Structure formats: structure tokens, C-alpha cells
């Protein structure tokens, strides 16, 4: 293909020796910690309680109020929150739970932790969320739960999924690790499904260092979750101390998944900026959508009319049919420009463990697998400046222009 005259020599790609757009790497995600956050943590470090103290309940109450749920139960990671929800739902050996392959492996692993079998269903081509029609085709007499994922912060088709669950007597565990603050048909994520799990990892909207949360409106689920996270014991140490009692009872086989007081203090402080953080992410997404509209070779993330995404990720898809480079080459080129793109996700069933245990060969979930071949997550975090956003736009434009113009070096 001939070299286009509208690509200047000065815009040579960094991967080929040109000047990178940025001097330092802009990561795809990053935590933001304020002096107020640091002081909140320091205050707990000076107190009598580093774990299972008063900040746990305060944080859970604030989180439940934000999500619009009756209960919020904290865990020490998003993974342990998922495990707790799978336990509370009663998943056991011989059961099946339907979930998406377009997720981090923790979503389906929590089913395995309970001795049950994860059954994947393909995703919708626009949002890359679980396709309700595909769920229907996977239901069997063994199915006990459905685990949709709010991919990239765009809520799944929750009403359709809950309707299916009601028809078959199933529990819906919504993995909203990406979607804190997201809205579906005017309702905030966390108050819709039977249980909703969140991740509080540093790259998320709010962080506790590591941490997770489960929201629910059911008191029985909340009680089981609290017991499961603390060895199956029916009371906590602070409550026993307050009552002047020593006796405790283990009533179920649980884990040590508690989120310490010091982490909860950080989360409670961070909640004060959550609304502002969500607004900033939405502004960045709007800027990307406006500036990348119509760019050859890029498929932008879809937003359905009835949702307001939380934008944990901004995943674009490389349309290799319009470029002379595929996703791998685009990834390397953008990294060389110091734009820290990433890939979310390798479909779970394609990981060696799942291939070997369940016999997946590839090709079972064509929509998810095809999407994966082109996915690139652009930087998206609320501390990004306007200049950071412009660097991403310039770098993507530079790289796309190069490969759209027909350049290709071997």
C-alpha cells in the first residue's frame, strides 16, 4: 500500500524510533489518595482497633446508603466477596452457575470454590455483557445461580436476567466490580440483584487498598455473609468485648475474609469524593467518545439508552480489517508512546486451567472470543488531567493514522 502524504515524518511512531507522545507512562488505572485519606488511616492506627472495629460498621452503612441497599457486608477483596455470595446462595457440589467468559477469572472461580461448576454463556456484541438469550440455552436442572458481570462499568441486562432467574428459582449474584455508582433504568447498581459484589482494588472508583463488598436487601443473606467472612462465628470480637463476654460459637464453616478497620477508614474517607470521581470518569468517557467518533479502525464501547455506566474501563476494539495492524501491534505501538493500554479480558474458558479441567478448545463462545481479539483498554481513572486525556487522544490518533495510511514494517 502506498505511503500517505498526509502523515508527516515528524509523526514517526515511537516503536520505530520516533518521539513518544509522553515522556512517562500513563497507566490504564491508578489510585488517588488524599491527605484526608492518610489522616483517616492514621487516626485508626492511633486507636484501639486495627481490625473489626467501629469503622467497619460505619463504612458498611455508608456504602449501603450510597448503593440504596438495606445491607452491605465488607470483605478483604472482591474475590472473597464473590466467594461469600456464592456460599450464601447455597452453591454446592453438583450445582451449576451460569456466568460470562468476558470477565476476570475470580467471577467463575468463586463457583469452583464451592465445588460447583461454572457454565459459560456468550455475551451481547454491543456491551459484551451476558446475553439473556444465551443464558436461557444454558439452564439445566442443576442450575442454581446466574452471575452477570457489569463489564467496564456498563450494567448488564438486569431486568431480563432477574426475570429468567425468577422463572427458574435462581439466585442472581451480580459482579459489579466495575460498576460502583452505575445506574440501570434509574436505579443504582447494588439495589437490583439478589446480591451484588464490588471490588475496592486501587484501580476502582473507590479503594480500601484491597477490599470488597456485598450488598443485598435480604437479611438472611447478610447474616450468612457476616458469619462466613469470620470463620463461621456468630459474633464478632468487638461485640463480645462490649458485652463483657468471652463465649463464641462457630455455626458454619467460614473463612477469614474480614476487612480491617484501618482499610474501612480509608474507604469511608474515599466515599466523600465518590460522586465527584464518577463525574470525572464520565467526563473522560464523553471526551473519548467525541474525539474518537468516526476514527477508522476503532469500535467504541456501546452505551444502551437505559443505563448510565460507571466507566471503570474504556475498552475500544481494534477493527483489523480497516488497518494494517492487529491488536497486538497496536498495543505495542501505544505502549511505546507511553500510553499504558491494557487488555480486558482473555476469556476465562481459554485459560490453561479451564481448558485442561473442562476441555475447552476455543470457539465455544464466538462473540466473546472475537471481541477479545480486538480489545484494548485505554487509560481511565478519575485523577487523569485534561492533558492526560489529550495525550491518549493524540497517541491513538497518531498510531491509527499510521496504520490506516498503509504503513507496515516487518
Sign of the dihedral defined by the CA atoms of residues 45, 51, 55, 60, in that order: positive
Q: Do 89 and 182 belong together in one domain?
A: yes
Structural domain includes residue 75: yes
Instruction: Indicate the helix (H) or strand (E) that contains 298.
Output: strand 298-299
Structural domain includes residue 3: no
- Each residue of 300-325: pLDDT tens digit? 999 999 999 999 999 999 998 999 99
- Each residue of 322-344: pLDDT tens digit? 999 999 999 999 999 999 999 99
Q: Which of 273, 299, 317 is the last residue of a domain?
A: 273
Do 214 and 197 form a contact (C-beta atoms < 8 A)? yes
pLDDT at position 363, please? 98
Q: Look at the chain and report how many structural domains it folds into.
A: 2
Angle between helices 274-292 and 386-404 (to 10 degrees): 30
**Residue 70 grid cell:** 438495606
Give the pTM: 0.94
β pairing state of 195-199 and 171-175: parallel
Q: Which residues pair with 376 in a beta bridge?
A: 316
Residue 172 pLDDT greater than 90, yes or no:
yes
Structural domain includes residue 285: yes
Q: Identify the CATH number of the domain in which residue 366 sits.
A: 3.90.1150.10
| Short-list 212, 214, 196, 258, CA closest to 233 | 258
- Each residue of 176-204: pLDDT tens digit? 999 999 999 999 999 999 999 999 999 99
pLDDT at position 320, please? 86
pLDDT at position 356, please? 98
pLDDT at position 234, please? 87
Structural domain includes residue 1: no
Structural domain includes residue 409: no
| Short-list 157, 78, 68, 151, CA closest to 110 | 78
Average pLDDT of the chain is 94
Q: Do 158 and 188 belong together in one domain?
A: yes
Q: Do 94 and 197 belong together in one domain?
A: yes
Distance of CA 120 to the CA centre of its chain: 18
Q: Do 269 and 329 belong together in one domain?
A: no
Number of H helices, E strands in the chain: 14, 13
Q: Do 60 and 79 belong together in one domain?
A: yes
Helix ranges (DSSP H) in 271-359: 274-292, 327-336, 352-358
Q: Do 267 and 278 belong together in one domain?
A: no
Residue 262 pLDDT greater than 50, yes or no:
yes
Q: Do 317 and 400 belong together in one domain?
A: yes
Q: Do 24 and 65 belong together in one domain?
A: no
Distance of CA 194 to the CA centre of its chain: 18
Q: Do 160 and 294 belong together in one domain?
A: no
Q: How many CB atoms lie within 10 A of CB 219?
A: 10
Q: Do 200 and 71 belong together in one domain?
A: yes
- Each residue of 213-252: pLDDT tens digit? 999 999 999 999 999 999 999 877 666 566 667 678 999 9
Q: Do 83 and 101 belong together in one domain?
A: yes
| Short-list 393, 380, 383, 389, CA closest to 178 | 380
Catalytic site includes residue 204: yes
Q: Identify the CATH number of the domain in which residue 65 sits.
A: 3.40.640.10
pLDDT at position 342, please? 98
Structural domain includes residue 4: no
List the domain range (segments joined by +) for residue 43. Answer: 35-273
Q: How many CB atoms lie within 10 A of CB 226?
A: 22
Structural domain includes residue 410: no
Q: Which of 238, 253, 273 is the last residue of a domain?
A: 273
Q: Do 265 and 396 belong together in one domain?
A: no
| Short-list 387, 310, 264, 270, CA closest to 32 | 270
Q: Which of 258, 273, 288 is the last residue of a domain?
A: 273
Choose, from 55, 204, 398, 401, the residue flagged as catalytic.
204
9 — pLDDT class (breaks 50, 70, 90) = very low
Amino acid at each position: 500500500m502506498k505511503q500517505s502524504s498526509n502523515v508527516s515524518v515528524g509523526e514517526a511512531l515511537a516503536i520505530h524510533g520516533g518521539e513518544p507522545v509522553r515522556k512517562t507512562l500513563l497507566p490504564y488505572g491508578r489510585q488517588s489518595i488524599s491527605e484526608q485519606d492518610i489522616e483517616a488511616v492514621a487516626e485508626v492506627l492511633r486507636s484501639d482497633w486495627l481490625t473489626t472495629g467501629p469503622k467497619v460498621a460505619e463504612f458498611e452503612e455508608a456504602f449501603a446508603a450510597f448503593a440504596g441497599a438495606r445491607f452491605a457486608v465488607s470483605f478483604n477483596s472482591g474475590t472473597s466477596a464473590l466467594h461469600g455470595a456464592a456460599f450464601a446462595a447455597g452453591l454446592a457440589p453438583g450445582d451449576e452457575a451460569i456466568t460470562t467468559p468476558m470477565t476476570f477469572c475470580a467471577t467463575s472461580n468463586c463457583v469452583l470454590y464451592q465445588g460447583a461448576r461454572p457454565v459459560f454463556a456468550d455475551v451481547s456484541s454491543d456491551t459484551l455483557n451476558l446475553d439473556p438469550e444465551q443464558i436461557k440455552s444454558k439452564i439445566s436442572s442443576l442450575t442454581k445461580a446466574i452471575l452477570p458481570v457489569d463489564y467496564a462499568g456498563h450494567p448488564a441486562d438486569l431486568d431480563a436476567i432477574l426475570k429468567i432467574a425468577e422463572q427458574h428459582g435462581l439466585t442472581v449474584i451480580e459482579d459489579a466490580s466495575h460498576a460502583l455508582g452505575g445506574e440501570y433504568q434509574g436505579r443504582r447498581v447494588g439495589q437490583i440483584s439478589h446480591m451484588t459484589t464490588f471490588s475496592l482494588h486501587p484501580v476502582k472508583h473507590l479503594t480500601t487498598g484491597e477490599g470488597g463488598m456485598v450488598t443485598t436487601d435480604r437479611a438472611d443473606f447478610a447474616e450468612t455473609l457476616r458469619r462466613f467472612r469470620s470463620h463461621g462465628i456468630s459474633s464478632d470480637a468487638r461485640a463480645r468485648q462490649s458485652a463483657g463476654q468471652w463465649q463464641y460459637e462457630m455455626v458454619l464453616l467460614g473463612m477469614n475474609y474480614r476487612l480491617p478497620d484501618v482499610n474501612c477508614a480509608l474507604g469511608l474517607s474515599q466515599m466523600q469524593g465518590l460522586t465527584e470521581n464518577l463525574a470525572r470518569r464520565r467526563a473522560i468517557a464523553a471526551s473519548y467518545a467525541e474525539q474518537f467518533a468516526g476514527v477508522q479502525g476503532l469500535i467504541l464501547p456501546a452505551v444502551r439508552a437505559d443505563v448510565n455506566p460507571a466507566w471503570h474501563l474504556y475498552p475500544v476494539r481494534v477493527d483489523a480489517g480497516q488497518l494494517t495492524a492487529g491488536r497486538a501491534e497496536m498495543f505495542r505501538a501505544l505502549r511505546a508512546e507511553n500510553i499504558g493500554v491494557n487488555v480486558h479480558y482473555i476469556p476465562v474458558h481459554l485459560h490453561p486451567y479451564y481448558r485442561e479441567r473442562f476441555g475447552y478448545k476455543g470457539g465455544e463462545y464466538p462473540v466473546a472470543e472475537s471481541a477479545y481479539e480486538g480489545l484494548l483498554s485505554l487509560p481511565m481513572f478519575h485523577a487523569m488531567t485534561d492533558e492526560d486525556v489529550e495525550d491518549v487522544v493524540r497517541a491513538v490518533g497518531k498510531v491509527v493514522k499510521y496504520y490506516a495510511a498503509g504503513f507496515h514494517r516487518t
